[in-house]
A and B are shown apart, each in its own frame.
Chain A
C-alpha cells in the first residue's frame, strides 16, 4: 500500500509540479509585462471553458495534439525521438486533400474513410524514411526528421501554388490555396459546435495504442527495444525493423492529425509559406502533450486537453491583458523543461527506496535467531 502510494507520487508529482512551475513563471512574466496575473489566468480559463463553444474549441484544438502525442508515445517508448510531427502532419493533410479534390462527387463516408487512411499512410511514409535512414545508415533521427519538416513545407508550397491551387480564383495574383472540399466530406459534427468526429476518434485511438503497446507482442518488442536495444538484440528481436516501425507509426498518427485537421476544421488547404501556418505548431506541441502525459497514450488525453485549453484561452488572455499569446508557447517550453528535469528526482527516490529495501533485508538476515545460542 505504502509502496503504491510512493509510485503514484512518483508518477503524478512531476507533471503537476511542471504545470504549477510554468504557471508561476508565467505569472511573473505577466507582472513584468504590466498585466495582472490573476485577471490573466481567469481570462485564460474563461476563454477555454467559459461556454459550450469554448469547451468545444478546446477539444478541437486538443485533437491534433492528442493524435501527434499518441504517435510520440510510440516513438519515444521505442527509443527514437521524432521531431518531424510538423512535416508528417503536412504530408497527411496534402494526401488526404488531394484525394478529396480528385473525387468530389464520391460518397462522403467513402472519401472520409479513405482520406483518413491515406493521411495515416502518408504521415507514416514521411516518418518511415528517417526510420529507415536510422536503421540502415545510422543517420540521427532528430536531424533527419527536422530536415523532413523543411522539405514537407516546400512540398506543400509547391503543390498549393501549382497542381492543387484553386483555379477558380479571379485576378492575376492567386492565393496559394485549394478550393473547398465537397461539403459531404466534412467530418460529422458531434454537437452543434465546431466539435467533430475526429476528437472522438483520437480518444478511441489513444486506448487502442495503449492496448497495442502494452498488450500485444509487436508493442512489447517496440518498448523492449526502447528500454534496452542491446538486450533486445540478444533476445532475438530485430532492432532495426522496430526502429523503422516506431518512427513509421509515430509519423502515421501525425499524418492522421493533418488529415483530421483538414476534414474536420479547415476543409481546404492554404499556405503562408511556413509549417506553423498549417499545423499551428501541433507537431511540436504534441511532443509537449506526450511528455506531459508521461509518454502514456491515455495520459496524453488529459494532457492534450490541458494544452488545447491554454491555446484557446490564449486569445482571451491577449484581449484582456494585451499580452501576446506567444506567452503560451514559451510556457509550453517550460513545461517540457520542468518535466524532463524532474526525472532526476524520481530516479533518486527510486534508488533511495531500493537501498532502504536492501538494508532492511540485510538487517533481517543478520538478526540473531532466537534460541540459536542455547
Chain B
C-alpha cells in the first residue's frame, strides 16, 4: 500500500492538488501580510472569506458568470476590509478581539444569506482550468503548474507582486515605516491612517478573493462555515512566513502539500485514521510556529493603535 504512494501518478496528483489547495491560503495570507506589515492584525479574515465565498457563489448562481462572481467577492471583501479599518484604525479597537466580532458577523451573515437566498445544495460551474498554451504540454511540470484555473495563477503571481511592492516601492517603504514606527512616519509626513486603511482594505479584498477561490473555483459550492477556519490558518501562515511574501508562499505550500498528502493517503486507502491525518497539518503548524518563534521579528507596532501625541 505504502509503495502506491510513491508511484508517479500519485505524486503528481498530490502536487497538483497541493498547488491548488494553497490558493485560498495565499490570497488571504498575502492580504494579511500587507495589514500586519503596517501594524494591523486583522483577525476577522475568516469571516471576510466566508462573505466573499458566499457573494461570489451567489452571483455565479444567479448569472452563471464567474467573473461577475469574482467582482462581487472583491466588492464585498473590500467593504468588509474598509469597515475593519474603521473599527481598528479610527476607533482604535483592540484588534485581537474586534476580529472575533468580524469573524462571527461573517460566519452568521453568510449562513443567513445562504439559507434565505439559496437554501439548497447547489453547485455552480466556476472558473474552469485554463491550460497555458505550450507550457501546459511540458510533461509532469505542465500538468502540475500550467493546467490550473485563473485564480490559481493569480495567487502565485500575487507573491512576487507583493514582494515587489513591500520591498522595492515607496509605498512599501511607507507601509513598513508605519508598521515599525508610526510616530516617526507621521513626523515625515506619511499618513499613518491612510496607509493602514489602504493595507487593511486590500487585505479585505484579497480575503474576499480567497473565499471566492474556494466557492467558485476549487469547489463550486457554498455551505455554512465553508472555510472551516482557513482564515485563521492564513493568519498563522503570516507569522510562520516571518511577515515576508516568500515565507508566506513557503508556508502555504508546506501546509497545502501536507493536506493534499493527507487526502491522497485516504484515497489510496493506507490505514491511517483519517482524523489523525486531518490533524497533522495543524500539529505541523504549531511545531513550525515554535521553531520560527524568535527567528523573525514582528512589526514593532503590530496591534498597537496610533494616536498623535498632544
A residues touching B (Cβ–Cβ < 8 Å)?
A: 29, 33, 81, 83, 133, 137-140, 142-144, 146-151, 154-155, 157-158, 161-162, 274, 276, 284, 287-288, 291, 323-324, 326-337, 340-341, 343-344
Q: How far is the CA of A340 from the CA of B41 in the complex (A)?
A: 15
With contact pairs A139-B293, A146-B229, A146-B236 given, residues A332 and B104 touching in the complex (Cβ less than 8 Å): yes
With contact pairs A137-B293, A140-B239 given, residues A154 and B278 touching in the complex (Cβ less than 8 Å): yes
Q: How many residues of B contact A (CB 8 A)?
A: 46
* Cβ contact within 8 Å between A330 and B109: yes
Does B254 touch A at the CB level, under 8 Å?
Answer: no
With contact pairs A154-B279, A274-B225, A341-B87 given, residues A332 and B108 touching in the complex (Cβ less than 8 Å): yes
* Cβ contact within 8 Å between B282 and A150: yes
Q: How far is the CA of A334 from the CA of B92 in the complex (A)?
A: 16
* Cβ contact within 8 Å between A324 and B101: no
Does B115 touch A at the CB level, under 8 Å?
Answer: yes
* Cβ contact within 8 Å between A150 and B279: yes
* Cβ contact within 8 Å between A81 and B104: no
With contact pairs A149-B229, A337-B102, A341-B87 given, residues A144 and B289 touching in the complex (Cβ less than 8 Å): yes
Chain B nearest CB: distance from A65 CB in Å? 13
Closest to A161 in B: B275
Of the A-B pairs whose beta carbons lie under 8 Å apart in the complex, a sample of 27, sorted by A's number, is: A29-B112, A137-B293, A138-B293, A139-B290, A140-B289, A142-B43, A142-B235, A143-B235, A147-B283, A147-B286, A154-B276, A158-B275, A284-B100, A291-B97, A324-B111, A324-B112, A326-B107, A329-B111, A329-B112, A330-B104, A330-B108, A336-B100, A336-B104, A337-B102, A340-B93, A340-B101, A341-B87
Selected from B47, B94, B224, the residue in CB contact (under 8 A) with A343 is B94
Q: How far is the CA of A336 from the CA of B107 in the complex (A)?
A: 14
Q: How far is the CA of A287 from the CA of B43 in the complex (A)?
A: 14
Contacts of B225 in A (CB 8 A): 274, 276
Does B285 touch A at the CB level, under 8 Å?
Answer: yes
Contacts of B194 in A (CB 8 A): none
Give per-residue flags for B83-112: 1 if the beta carbon is below 8 A from chain A beta carbons, else 0: 000010001111011101111111111011
Q: How far is the CA of A121 from the CA of B211 in the complex (A)?
A: 38
Closest to A130 in B: B286
Contacts of A284 in B (CB 8 A): 100, 104
Does B116 touch A at the CB level, under 8 Å?
Answer: yes
* Cβ contact within 8 Å between B293 and A154: no
Does B189 touch A at the CB level, under 8 Å?
Answer: no
* Cβ contact within 8 Å between A323 and B116: yes
Question: Chain A at the B interface: mostly helix, strand, loop or mixed?
Answer: helix
Closest to B289 in A: A139
Give per-residue flags for B179-200: 1 if the beta carbon is below 8 A from chain A beta carbons, else 0: 0000000000000000000000
Chain B nearest CB: distance from A107 CB in Å? 34
Q: How far is the CA of A29 from the CA of B96 in the complex (A)?
A: 27
Given contacts A154-B275, A332-B104, A340-B98, 17 further A-B contacts (CB under 8 A): A133-B286, A139-B290, A143-B235, A144-B286, A146-B236, A158-B273, A274-B228, A324-B111, A326-B109, A327-B108, A329-B104, A330-B105, A330-B107, A333-B102, A336-B97, A336-B100, A340-B101
Q: How far is the CA of A3 from the CA of B239 in the complex (A)?
A: 44
Contacts of B232 in A (CB 8 A): 143, 146
Contacts of A144 in B (CB 8 A): 286, 289
Contacts of A138 in B (CB 8 A): 293-294
The 10 closest A-B pairs by CB, nearest first: A329-B108, A336-B101, A333-B105, A333-B104, A330-B108, A337-B101, A326-B111, A158-B275, A340-B93, A326-B112
Contacts of A287 in B (CB 8 A): 97, 100
